Structure 1
Amino acid sequence: MPVLDLPALPRLSRAERVEAIDGWLSGLLADALSGTPRAARRRGAAPAGPVELGVALVAVGSLGRREPPPHGDLDLVLVHDGRPEIAALADALWYPIWDTGLRLDHSVRTIAEAVAVAGDDVKAGFGLLDARHVAGDPEVTAALRAATLGAWRQHASRLLPQLRDLRRARGRQVGELGFLLEPDLKEAYGGLREGQVLRALAAAQLADEPPADAGEAYTFLLDARDALQRATGRASVVLVRQEQRGVAEALGLSDDDALLRRVSLAGRRLAFMADQTWRRVDAALVRRPRGRYRRVRREPLAEGLVRQGEEVVLARDARPAADPGLVLRGAAAAARADLLLSPYTLKVLAVHAPPLPEPWPPEVRWSFLRLLASGRSAVPVLEQLDQEGLLARMLPEWDRVRSLPQRHPWHRFTVDRHLVEAAAAAAELTRDVDRPDLLLVGALLHDIGKGRPGDHSVVGEVIATEVAARMGFSPPDVAVVGSLVRHHLLLPATATRRDIDDPATVERVADTIGGDPGVLQLLHALAQADGAATSASAWSPWKAHLVAALVARVHAHLVAAPAPGPVLEPTEPQVTTAAPGVPEPGGAVTVGLQTVADGQQVTFGAPDRPGLFSRCAGVLALNQLDVRAASISVADGRATSIFAVRPRFGRVPVPEILADGLRAALEGTLPLAERLRQREVDYREDGARSAAPRVSWHDAEVAGAASTIVEVRAGDRAGLLYQLTTALADEGLDVTSARIETLGADALDSFYVCDPAGTAMSPERRRRLEVALTAAARGVAPDPAVLGAADA
């Protein structure tokens, strides 16, 4: 019996694997046709007799395409002319394959049966397009290919819409390859399956063969799949994070980001070609009235451009080589009409469009702004310009961010697509600002500095000012665009990490923007657009509320108007329970509950005592409430602690339970630390994969000399806020307010702390507190030796 060296297969190239597998299968079929008993075949008997006519072994799937993966299955069809002994022949062929341990997807068909299945089942018909002769009678294989191809073309009007819907549904389920951090190389939209679909559409004679660059993208994804399977030793198609570095090295790429970028570029090219091809196919499948001649309506849209059907094409008198503004004029016309440029028009513009003069003429800049102002309909048009290289030709800086991955859990897109999405979101806010043109350009360029050394906001400011000047904006407008890029994170970062009711916070923001209300207005709109383009987690209703409140305070400061009220205001108590050891009514524990943006506000009232704030935080954590912001005030010996919370599992907090919990925590009958440790075990929240905790100080941003801001970044888990505030209380510090932000698996908690005695915090005390906070963030007790070293 022929022998296949399975351990050696993964090390072979695809062509060598095809040759080895084909040779082995040919021998197996010869054995089966020769009638050699199975026992003799196992002893290695040589095949005897000629191969019979009327039977063929046909490969489909990856083997049929000559693309077998290092660790994959075999898709085989035994095609025959109706002979009665085919079942015994099939058994004699399949069993030796199963004996090797290879996975086998097999079928036995006559040509008529195969054609019937192909015409009825889109998946079967799609698979049979890859049929390739392996062994047996080649005329049978040729007849099968001709028959199935004829059936595919005959039933295209019914099968192709099914195939389109299958791919789109799968894309919605798995995602788009170009924007995934752990992409499915096969099934994600734009993956290997799209390359196969493009060939299937060409086989139906409704589309051209895929262009060379699509073939190159497909080949790269095949190489990445093979490298992944060699690295994992199994039939993997999902490029998980821990395997990316090894795959990058196997492909000769510098690092895992370079790999992900190449995968994104390949996936986006295949997805773009698939979308473009499907539009042509859908148009071809539409039933049209019979007639010898059909007049195509052409509707003028702009100079040199007309609408033809559902596309924008060049007018007969257009002169692309002599019209520098034609590209952007056509893109703007297409987006405004919610259409796309025709593929032929794109090709003509890519070949003949001249470089834009510098600075851009006003009409060119106006076309570009009209394109951006089109909102959502501009996204696919900008993708067209990008895929044909026209966008990078106008904005050379674009190449550095094309398909650049963003490994932040909030981001849904690569850097370039995020910028386009931000511009589309900004288009919906243009009526809220006095300079919509600067908002649109700022949104498109706000992350243009990513992928370069240094702070992307600082680097991006320089790039954005150069781009804005090249676009022909005036020097004052260029400075505003640069300021938008430089400070696009100012409002969200300040609102979520600082006490916006602190006048020092408001003054710092006002000074940073140069006291310009117009810049503040633009930054607010840019923050909204940036958050919307990132993800729902990045721009929650609560964050939007905080940013809007900060903007209102800064604006009031700039125009000397009355400032709005506090973000967190005490809620009238709904539940009252006696505090331990304190006579009524001044010692009562009260709890108020109010619905606010994206959650609830809980107000605790209790007699002031050390550690009260941390116990309130512990009770909230025990009730599965995530804290977003907090403040505490003390008057006449009574503390009011206000927390903005969001239920982790959607259950609204119950005031009675919170009141009873705080009362029990104060009297010591509720072991908060032990209960929270048990909850962490129960929910298996593990921060081991997070970076080491980091503690930082910000003295320059406080309201008074006796106060300090301390930031702690650590892995998020149940009870983290309780443990951090307990560490602060153990060091004799009071927390006056807190801002809590969750960044994926990490938390960034900012605390305003002060010493009740009014003393400043010494460097030794800071070091000691850093040790205590780091230990609390890790959920362990501080090492006495480390504490001693901090004191020293």
Structure 2
Amino acid sequence: MVPAHGPAGRPAPSPAGPDAGDPAAPARAALAAARAGRSAELDAWLAGLLAPDGTPPAGVALVAVGSHGRRELTPGGDLDLVLVHDGRRDDVAALADRLWYPIWDAGPRLDHSVRTVAEARAVARADLKAALGLLSARRVAGDRALADELRAAVLADWRADARARLADLAVLCRERWTAQGDLAFLLEPDLKEAHGGLRDVDVMRAVAASWVASAPGERVRAAHGLLLDVRHALHAQTGRSADRLVLQEQQAVAEALGLGDADRLLRATAEAARVVVHAGDHLWHRVDRFLAPRRPGGGQRAADRRPVGDGAVEQDGEVVLARSADLGDPSLVLRVAAAAAHAGLPLAPATVDRLAAHAALPEAPWPAAARDALVALLGAGPAAIGVWEDLDQAGIIVRLLPDWADVRNRPQRNPFHRFTVDRHLVEAAAGAAAHTRDVARPDLLLVGALLHDIGKGAPGDHSVTGAARTRGIAARLGFDPGDVDVLTAAVRHHLLLPDTATRRDLDDPATIETVLTALGDAPGRERELLDLLAALAVADARATGPSAWGSWKAGQVAELTRRAAAALAGGPLPPPPAPAPDHLALARHDGAAVRVAGSRVTIAAPDRPGLLWRAAGVLALHRLAVRSARITAAPRGSGGTAVLDFTAVPEFGSPPDPAALEADLRRLLADRLDVAGRLERRAAAVRVRPGAPVAPPRVTVVEDASAVAAVIEVRAPDRPGLLWRVGQAIGAFGLQVRAARVDTLGAEAVDVFYVVDADGRPPADPGVLSDVRQKVLAALR
């Protein structure tokens, strides 16, 4: 959708309110008209039920609350009605039956009650949710004075009890946000209950009714309208009242709204949700100030002003412009933002509006002061995120960084990622602030983290397109050519260390050579680039999601970085680790033995073809997810016993009993354990969510990845015993898995297998590898 423009020609991010230039405008206008028409029809029908002869009974009023009270009832919405009476009629029960039974017969879900004004008032004072509903009470039929009395009484009580009610409301909201998550960042959000959803706008109206804060502004109302239209289209498409926008419904809802595709729908809902959350943050800031303990003696005092940076002062818990601030200074916006972030305070909304409308912004190439202010803002760490959002909501970020528009609110259709692309970048930069002392150039780390996924959304490999964009952005920011090269290389290779560490054999010289070749993209500054990539790997993974970084991956990346640094220094590569004494002792064990130490599982067993993947099958039976696997050559004098090293973690719960593992391993070696059958039964018992998109498996023979083995990469939905199935397919050709690297990204397994022939060498015939690839694909299907 084409963005509107605010003051001074700035692009003002919009939650897609319908206008003449909006392709969704006709569809959305039709939905709004449908809601208004349905509300009018319902009102007329309900009035007829209350007064069949056209004369409403005295002392009775029918009041709608909730979405019907606000004239926002969507096709799947509930009717919420209160029959209010003055307490003097003895036929109220009969009147209620005359209303409720026809409604039930007609099919709408009904929440109903019969109250006097005093009773409704008492319920509202005792029940916060009931009070919120009654704040939107609207007379549908009957005694207008009685309905007005009810509304006035509920409002009066709400305002009188504002301190207690708003404190309770804050707790209720935070509990809901924790349970439902952020609408803007969910792949299947609840449009009503998630943070930033329709419920939060209702809460804003309730806070405004207490006179503690202003009513929702134009942008929030437009955002609310967009979310309401999405909910309406969802109900109409599904015929159900569910408010969760599940994946399989998104395309149909997008088409019904005139948005074209599901990604545009998610971007529009994300933008609307972020408008609501941003406004809500400022509203709750005002509520917190209202709820703060009052000063002794009461009364008002002139607001204290405390300098927090050049051009910025704190006033009433927010950062505002100093009286001497120069709006013509192109570094002012970022300098004030950095001051707010380092002080841990929000920018005052009026200050942001003033900066957006009147402050100068740096022109390319940026002056050093503006670039330093950007780095200072990012260097504030997590405190920078809220301040960045202030600038973003005002349209300032896309003016500073035009490429930002392409990633703004862009969904990442991968449950592994918990944020949209733009928020992920800001989170990564904030996380990188914790590692600035680990690198020679903190500024390059912070800016590199901010830009590392800037290529997402463009065709092709996002690392390649992102590097091209970064070269232009870095030049506009005023970095010198050498720094531009380093930033470009950092974005191009930001996945190099984690991907290589988890998917390649670190003992293979070709692995280190791959890293050194990539570092050559920053000639003369290879070690500096290596340290940047190591820090960026941590920040990127932690900003991705809780399962993207763990002790095993951290150890692998650290070890790869250490080996690459040693190679850069001209020293010899560290030799492969020799078997530890306890492993040698284990190898002398008669038959088979198992040792479990944390995530390390060591198995000694008589050497035989396929031992590695067969043992992995046993681990899978004991609900251990393999992260890496390697077979060590049988030590001399061990009587043909091989030592297998696995990194494996429990799928859930506690690690298995080593004695039980050893017993099953002995059964396997004696051909008395049906691993395949038991794994198939486990896989059959796993529920697959209907309609969830599952990409087909992909198997690739990676050329030149190793000089000592053929490397086969497998990408497939994760399932128990995957290493067993792949190894079984490879073993059918007389080949063996010498080592395996396993990584799980959400529900996706990315596994790499080092394959050798019976003589321990790479297969000589390329045709064999092609056949192996087809066999593995068949096994995965």
- TM-score (structure 2 length as normaliser): 0.91
The alignment status of 1:284 with 2:290, answered yes or no, reads yes
The alignment status of 1:561 with 2:574, answered yes or no, reads no
Among 44, 54, 60, the alignment partner of 1:55 is: 60
SS of match in other structure, 1:697: strand
**Is the 8 Å Cα contact of residues 690 and 746 (structure 1) preserved in structure 2?**
no
Q: Distance in 2 between matches of 1:379 and 1:302?
A: 18
Distance change >3 Å, CA 770–CA 562, structure 1 → 2: closer
**Is the 8 Å Cα contact of residues 575 and 590 (structure 1) preserved in structure 2?**
no
Distance change >3 Å, CA 407–CA 29, structure 1 → 2: same
Q: Which residue of 1 aligns with 2:83?
A: 78
Q: Which residue of 2 aligns with 1:552?
A: 562
**Is the 8 Å Cα contact of residues 574 and 592 (structure 1) preserved in structure 2?**
no
Amino acid paired to 1:230: A
What is the Cα deviation at residue 195 of structure 1?
A: 1.2
**Is the 8 Å Cα contact of residues 446 and 484 (structure 1) preserved in structure 2?**
yes
What is the Cα deviation at residue 563 of structure 1?
A: 4.1
Q: Superposition pairs for residues 678-717 of structure 1, below 5 Å?
A: 678-684=681-687, 690-704=694-708, 707-717=709-719
What is the Cα deviation at residue 318 of structure 1?
A: 2.4
SS of match in other structure, 1:340: coil
Q: Which residue of 1 aligns with 2:603?
A: 604
Q: Distance in 2 between matches of 1:187 and 1:606?
A: 55
Amino acid paired to 1:551: T
Q: Which residue of 2 aligns with 1:29?
A: 50
Q: Distance in 1 between matches of 2:310 and 2:724?
A: 66
SS of match in other structure, 1:265: helix
The alignment status of 1:17 with 2:24, answered yes or no, reads no
Q: Which residue of 1 aligns with 2:405?
A: 399
Q: Which runs of 5+ in 1 are unaligned?
A: 1-8, 31-46, 578-584, 779-792
SS of match in other structure, 1:396: coil
The alignment status of 1:294 with 2:301, answered yes or no, reads yes
Q: Distance in 1 between matches of 2:53 and 2:643?
A: 94
Among 260, 264, 277, the alignment partner of 1:258 is: 264
Write out per-residue CA displacement over residues 61-83 of structure 1, whole angstroms, 9 at most, x where no aligned residue. Answer: 11000011102211001111112
Distance change >3 Å, CA 69–CA 709, structure 1 → 2: same
What is the Cα deviation at residue 201 of structure 1?
A: 1.7
Q: Superposition pairs for residues 527-546 of structure 1, below 5 Å?
A: 527-546=537-556
**Is the 8 Å Cα contact of residues 412 and 534 (structure 1) preserved in structure 2?**
yes
Write out per-residue CA displacement over residues 219-241 of structure 1, whole angstroms, 9 at most, x where no aligned residue. Answer: 01000001001111110100001
Distance change >3 Å, CA 274–CA 569, structure 1 → 2: farther
Q: Distance in 2 between matches of 1:16 and 1:378?
A: 46
Write out per-residue CA displacement over residues 699-722 of structure 1, whole angstroms, 9 at most, x where no aligned residue. Answer: 211123xx2101111222122211
What is the Cα deviation at residue 567 of structure 1?
A: 7.1
**Is the 8 Å Cα contact of residues 608 and 634 (structure 1) preserved in structure 2?**
no
**Is the 8 Å Cα contact of residues 185 and 192 (structure 1) preserved in structure 2?**
yes
Q: Which is higher, the Rg of structure 1 or of structure 2?
A: 1
The alignment status of 1:776 with 2:773, answered yes or no, reads no
Q: Superposition pairs for residues 215-226 of structure 1, below 5 Å?
A: 215-226=221-232
What is the Cα deviation at residue 11 of structure 1?
A: 11
What is the Cα deviation at residue 588 of structure 1?
A: 2.7
The alignment status of 1:632 with 2:631, answered yes or no, reads yes
- Hey, which bits of structure 1, 4+ residues long, moved more than 3 A? 9-12, 288-293, 561-571, 573-577, 635-638, 682-689, 757-761
Higher relative contact order (CA 8 A, sep 6+): 2
The alignment status of 1:437 with 2:437, answered yes or no, reads no
Q: Which residue of 2 aligns with 1:166?
A: 172
Work out the number of aligned pairs and report it.
Answer: 740
Q: Superposition pairs for residues 27-426 of structure 1, below 5 Å?
A: 27-30=48-51, 47-48=52-53, 50-85=55-90, 86-286=92-292, 287-290=294-297, 293-320=300-327, 322-426=328-432
Q: Distance in 2 between matches of 1:438 and 1:10?
A: 49
**Is the 8 Å Cα contact of residues 75 and 106 (structure 1) preserved in structure 2?**
yes
The alignment status of 1:741 with 2:743, answered yes or no, reads yes
Amino acid paired to 2:82: V
Amino acid paired to 2:174: R
Write out per-residue CA displacement over residues 242-277 of structure 1, whole angstroms, 9 at most, x where no aligned residue. Answer: 100000000111211110110100001001111111
**Is the 8 Å Cα contact of residues 464 and 482 (structure 1) preserved in structure 2?**
yes
**Is the 8 Å Cα contact of residues 484 and 523 (structure 1) preserved in structure 2?**
yes
What is the Cα deviation at residue 200 of structure 1?
A: 1.6
Q: Which residue of 2 aligns with 1:723?
A: 725
Q: Distance in 1 between matches of 2:156 and 2:620?
A: 66
Q: Distance in 1 between matches of 2:316 and 2:251?
A: 47
Q: Distance in 2 between matches of 1:558 and 1:26?
A: 83
Amino acid paired to 1:491: L
The alignment status of 1:652 with 2:655, answered yes or no, reads yes
What is the Cα deviation at residue 574 of structure 1?
A: 10
SS of match in other structure, 1:341: coil
Q: Distance in 2 between matches of 1:479 and 1:683?
A: 48
What is the Cα deviation at residue 317 of structure 1?
A: 2.5
Q: For structure 1, which segment, 400-409 or 120-129, has the greater mean C-alpha deviation from structure 2 after superposition?
A: 120-129
SS of match in other structure, 2:602: strand
Among 588, 591, 594, the alignment partner of 2:591 is: 588
Amino acid paired to 1:698: V
What is the Cα deviation at residue 137 of structure 1?
A: 1.5
Amino acid paired to 1:730: A
What is the Cα deviation at residue 124 of structure 1?
A: 1.6
**Is the 8 Å Cα contact of residues 397 and 404 (structure 2) preserved in structure 1?**
yes
Q: For structure 1, which segment, 103-112 or 648-657, has the greater mean C-alpha deviation from structure 2 after superposition?
A: 648-657
Identity of aligned residues (%): 52
Among 668, 675, 678, the alignment partner of 1:675 is: 678
Q: Distance in 1 between matches of 2:255 and 2:557?
A: 44
What is the Cα deviation at residue 343 of structure 1?
A: 1.0
SS of match in other structure, 1:164: helix
**Is the 8 Å Cα contact of residues 627 and 649 (structure 2) preserved in structure 1?**
yes
Q: Distance in 2 between matches of 1:736 and 1:56?
A: 80
What is the Cα deviation at residue 505 of structure 1?
A: 0.3
SS of match in other structure, 2:177: helix
Q: Which residue of 1 aligns with 2:4?
A: none
Q: Which residue of 1 aligns with 2:496?
A: 490
Amino acid paired to 1:603: T
RMSD of equivalent CA atoms: 2.1
SS of match in other structure, 1:66: coil
Amino acid paired to 1:27: G
Q: Which residue of 1 aligns with 2:536?
A: 526
